[in-house]
Amino acid sequence: MEISYKIDTKNKVIIETWPKKVSLEDYKKVKLSEFSDIDFNPEYDVITDLREVNNVFNENLIEEIIDFMKMNSGKMKNRKSAVVADSPQLVASSLFFGQKARKLPVKISVFSSMSATVKWIKEKW
């Protein structure tokens, strides 16, 4: 199963839903699809829903995702990226990811519920 996404132009947000298992190729594929979507806007915030994911993100995968983001940093314009994770392992991986992504134009926060995520996304910078 692939990562799915929806671009909500009304709320200026991209919502990604990740399946149980995710690879670097899955991530790249969905991002390239988003970038070429007619509704894509690099200023839209992103919500990444990891609640169904059951594999742990190792340091190597996180580094590869960061490298891909760096190569495509022009597709990001000072936006928020909210991660929804409900297991301790995914929360830890997401926090580690956020630390590694500090030099990118993305403000990353991790939440355990979609309602808290939406509230944070709606807040102004």
Tens of pLDDT, residues 13-24? 999 999 999 889
Single pTM value for the model: 0.91
CB within 8 A of 14, min separation 6: which ones? 5, 6, 7, 8, 34, 40, 44, 45, 46, 47
Per-residue pLDDT tens, the chain, 125 aa: give them: 789 999 999 999 999 999 999 889 999 999 999 999 999 999 999 999 999 998 767 888 899 999 999 999 889 888 999 999 988 888 888 888 888 888 888 899 999 999 999 999 998 76
Fold classified for 4-122: Transcription Regulator spoIIAA (3.30.750)
